[in-house]
Chain A
């Protein structure tokens, strides 16, 4: 317990926030950590969401996606990172190991992102989609105006768990070259400085909780008013929907394991 308190004290010591010749600073490390998390998350979303929507909308390729996702999950991130850092030739303008880092984190984040996207679309009641089609909506309109809004909860859930995984795993970038919050954990261990290590771990946990909290709020306000996900407080929903059960999303389809 004492060590944990010391860890907090280490964080709140202002001198630890700037880089010195004998230690990386928390400030720059935090910025770098957020940058790496942000870039990786955006690229994961750009790749993962369209594929997930395709699978969810057309119901095709789901088993292939599950298989690939699970295979991706089995990749050991540190090993992959080392291999990529050594294998990727130096490109001018991309500092240090950015490219290798981002590839590793995107591969790490894709399974949850994909699963969230297609599970979100699959959770939408088929009757609702048929109704949308019947009133003459195009497939694109069905996707953007019916399926995505109704599946928003699960899609955002996928983004949330992806964020959590990436923000926690960005720490390993510090094993080779990058200064992130993981630097304090890795350096602390090598320098026999357990207070620094715990301080770094607390920072990572705090950042992860903060991001998760923000996304939880977003998720809460994201679903359309008509869909209450079973909160009976919303009287309008029960009053309007004759078949309450049918507006409930089906049990979300999880990712295969």
Chain B
């Protein structure tokens, strides 16, 4: 079936494709490496986790630093924490946008801190030598209980504590929410909400969860605060006055050797300007079905809009 001629052509096509891909890589890395290589500048290598929101954050850090005279190299979309934290410790990357609660949980399994200040304090202690956490932003990508507007006005809901007044409350979340200490158990012990009918929907607060809420199949759902459907479907995110969910503020983790007054001031400005709503918009823009934007572009636009650098 595969005549030698065809085989040769096929191989040629594959090789040509590979060459194109390689060429693409080469050109993009030379671009992001920056043209000027003056040795006086500090070089910062920025990494990120492999999901759009975090890649956008990595790009924002990078573009902000580049605008302030740093030489920036990118190593984005590295993958999971287990992969990029060692890279950070080794110095292969110097800066990573992180989420305070998750990184703390990764570094110290016994961590119990939940409020933003507790989490930051515990994180400073838990970070391995050579790594520094800068000031966190108020932008956070954490668990949150969401209800529809109708449901919220029907029972007059603004905070999780108000759910106590809802008869036979049902709640949708990923299966692990049922057994997590800050899941159903936490709702029971921290807020005293009992008899919750749990509905496991295994899509991490994704479209099926949003649809179940809209259809009224469930009363409430655990959705990450930066999920586009919160905006698109006008869900009401209930406040968490007793800090059931660990704070997940965006926090730059930097190699201590690279920390300087200038770097800190640039990143602090970014963190101060960043809001949870911005993160939500990043996710909306990068996941737009018809016209998804590249994280680089989203980052550029945000810096422009925020009037930074």
- A-side residues, CB < 8 A to B, are 21-24, 82, 85-86, 90, 95-97, 174-177, 179, 183, 186-187, 189-193
Contacts and interface: CB of A to CB of B under 8 A. Distances in A.
B217 A177 contact: yes
B179 A193 contact: yes
Interface string B169-207: 000101110110000110010000011101111110001
B225 to A, nearest CB: 21
Contacts of A22: 178-179, 184-185, 198
Interface of B: 172, 174-176, 178-179, 184-185, 188, 194-196, 198-203, 207-208, 211-212, 214-217
B194 A176 contact: no
Contacts of A174: 200
Contacts of B174: 190
B211 A191 contact: no
Given A21-B194, A96-B217, A176-B203, A86 B175 contact: no
B196 A21 contact: yes
A95 B217 contact: yes
A25 to B, nearest CB: 11
B175 A191 contact: yes
Contacts of B212: 96, 177
Contacts of B207: 86
Nearest to A23: B178
Given A21-B184, A90-B215, A176 B178 contact: no
Closest 6 CB pairs of A and B: A90-B215, A187-B175, A190-B175, A190-B176, A191-B179, A176-B208
Most central of B184, B198, B203, B217 by chain A CB within 10 Å: B198
A20 B208 CA distance: 24
Nearest to B178: A22
A119 B194 CA distance: 56
A161 B48 CA distance: 49
Contacts of A86: 207-208, 211
Contacts of A97: 217
Contact of A177 (B188, B201, B216): B201
Contacts of A90: 211, 214-217
Nearest to A184: B175
A186 B202 contact: yes
A187 B211 contact: no
Nearest to B196: A21
A193 B217 CA distance: 27
A183 B194 contact: no
A74 B10 CA distance: 28
Contacts of A193: 179
A21 B188 contact: yes
Contacts of A96: 212, 217
A179 B208 CA distance: 15
Given A86-B211, A90-B216, A21 B200 contact: no
A85 B208 contact: yes
Contacts of A177: 172, 199-201, 208, 212, 217
Contacts of B196: 21
Contacts of B215: 90
Contact of B178 (A82, A85, A95, A191): A191
A23 B176 CA distance: 10
A86 B216 CA distance: 14
A199 to B, nearest CB: 15
Contacts of A23: 178-179
Given A96-B217, A177-B201, A187-B178, 11 more contacts: A21-B184, A21-B195, A24-B200, A86-B211, A90-B215, A90-B217, A97-B217, A175-B202, A176-B202, A186-B202, A190-B202
22 contacts: A21-B194, A21-B195, A21-B196, A23-B179, A85-B211, A86-B208, A90-B211, A90-B214, A90-B215, A90-B217, A96-B212, A176-B203, A177-B212, A179-B200, A183-B200, A186-B202, A187-B175, A190-B174, A191-B176, A191-B179, A192-B176, A193-B179
A23 to B, nearest CB: 7
A176 B208 CA distance: 7
A97 B211 CA distance: 10
Most central of A90, A95, A176, A183 by chain B CB within 10 Å: A176
Contacts of A183: 200
A166 to B, nearest CB: 21
